[in-house]
Amino acid sequence: MNYKEYTFEDFLKDKFFIGWVKNPTPESDYFWKNWMRQNPDNCEAVEKAAAIISSLNYSKELPTDKETNEVLESVMVDIHRYDFRHDDRKSWNALAFRIAASLALVIAISYGVYRLNAQNFQPETIQVTEAVKKAEKGQKLFFELPDGSRVNLNANTELIIDSEFGKGNRIVSLKGEAYFEVAKDTARPFIIKTHDLTTTVLGTSFNIKSYPEDQQIKVAVRSGLVRVNLKDSSGTPFNMVAANEMLTFHRKDKQISIGSFIPEEVLGWKDHILYFKKADFDEIKKSLENWYGVRFNIQDKPRQEEFTGIFKRESLEEVLDALNYTSDNVYTLNGNIVNVQPKKLTKSTHYEKF
């Protein structure tokens, strides 16, 4: 690449040269200006090529933001439709989705369906007072609601059953984590209120995790379909969450995302499976305090954790053993208290800081 021997046509085709003519950077500018100073005989070729290159102005026709967004929306609608038609779901699920989708709108607008379906009306099971079900730390509960729906409550969870439960609506309020298997009753939507979100159920099984201290609320659907909207809004915008999907609501910025989930990780708790996946210290502490009803006593700032493990109906000692094996902290159990201390680094465990 000896520029000294370049003809003007060679300059015309040289990418580095072209780049400098069209988008000079301090480096390329320095190079070429310097080169031209040192090779005055070649200046004419350079200038001729530069003149031609800089005259190649194609008319730029850019779309408006509106046009860009419109086409994008059309693309998204098309792929949604495509995915729905090509889903591997069982046909009854697909049917339920179609029924539910149309039902959801009806429910949002009025209770006309309820009134029209008089023949579906079931005898009322009246709850006179508001019932509260509470699982303490270290405890789990499993029980049936008046309509036959079954509920698992995870530790440190409270479920308030509305006094009007069964009449027109089936409303409960949740603080914590629960797994629901909702009995089908298309005339009476099952509604779960959590701190920021309202979840309306259409005969399904799913998990809601909404602890007050968490930054996120998670609604994971195992089968069927639920509709989730912000607590204060009457209906729209809402999100449909279908089987194998989990909706995550970020409380701080009020953003919603929907993705997949690993069933053992999210639902395992109701089968007494304790699941850690790259859990950091805070997560370990929160999980163990809730699961076993213990309290953590932290003496010095603990070292970072990234713990992965699955425990089925195992004692806390066994979990702590597993932790201690790989952790840079030391966990010891004393009655109801777990003491945590960072491990003292000996010469053999000392690593370089960078």
Partner 1 sequence: MIQNTAYNNRPPNFIQKGQENISEWHARDDADIWEEFKTGNRNALIFIYKSYFPELFNYGFQFNKDKDLIKDIIQDLFVYLYKKRESIKKTTSIKYYLFKCLRRRIKVQADRKEKFDNALNVPSFTIEQSPESVYIAGEEQLINRHEISKAINKLPLKQREIIYYYYFENFSYKEIASILGMKQTKSARKLLYRALEGLKKTMAE
Closest to 196 in 3D by CA, of 143, 274, 253: 253
Stretch in the footprint of partner 1 (CB under 8 A) among 140-148, 169-177, 239-247, 279-287: 239-247
Stretch in the footprint of partner 1 (CB under 8 A) among 127-135, 157-165, 191-199, 253-261: 253-261
Closest to 282 in 3D by CA, of 239, 329, 248, 238: 329
Specify whether the CB–CB gap between 130 and 103 falls below 8 A.
no
Minimum Å gap between C-beta 283 and partner 1 is 12
- Looking up tokens 């929907």, which residue turns up? 258
Applying CB under 8 A, which of residues 2, 88, 213, 237 lies at the interface with partner 1?
Answer: 237
Residue 57 binding partner 1, by CB under 8 A: yes
**290-320: b (≥16 Cβ within 10 Å) or e:** bbbebebeeeeebeebebebebeeeebeebb
CA Rg value for the chain: 32
Minimum Å gap between C-beta 171 and partner 1 is 24
103 or 294: CB nearest partner 1 = 103
Residue 47 binding partner 1, by CB under 8 A: yes
Query: Which two tokens mark 239?
Result: 């999100």
Specify whether the CB–CB gap between 189 and 175 falls below 8 A.
no
Minimum Å gap between C-beta 199 and partner 1 is 14
Burial status of residue 48 (CB atoms within 10 A of its CB: 0-12, 13-18, 19 or more): middle
Closest to 309 in 3D by CA, of 349, 271, 343, 268: 268
Stretch in the footprint of partner 1 (CB under 8 A) among 46-54, 131-139, 180-188, 292-300: 46-54
Euclidean distance between CA atoms 219 and 248, whole angstroms:
7
Minimum Å gap between C-beta 2 and partner 1 is 19
68 or 326: CB nearest partner 1 = 68
Minimum Å gap between C-beta 96 and partner 1 is 17
Stretch in the footprint of partner 1 (CB under 8 A) among 50-58, 136-144, 295-303, 306-314: 50-58
Residue 13 binding partner 1, by CB under 8 A: yes
Applying CB under 8 A, which of residues 135, 192, 225, 266 lies at the interface with partner 1?
Answer: 266
Euclidean distance between CA atoms 19 and 49, whole angstroms:
12
**Quick one: which H or E segment has residue 300?**
none
Binders in 79-98 for partner 1, by CB under 8 A: 79, 82-83
Number of residues forming the site for partner 1 (CB under 8 A): 57
Q: Interface with partner 1 by CB under 8 A: which residues?
A: 9, 12-13, 15, 18-19, 22, 43-44, 47-48, 51-53, 55-63, 67-68, 70-76, 78-79, 82-83, 237-240, 244-248, 253, 255-262, 265-266, 277
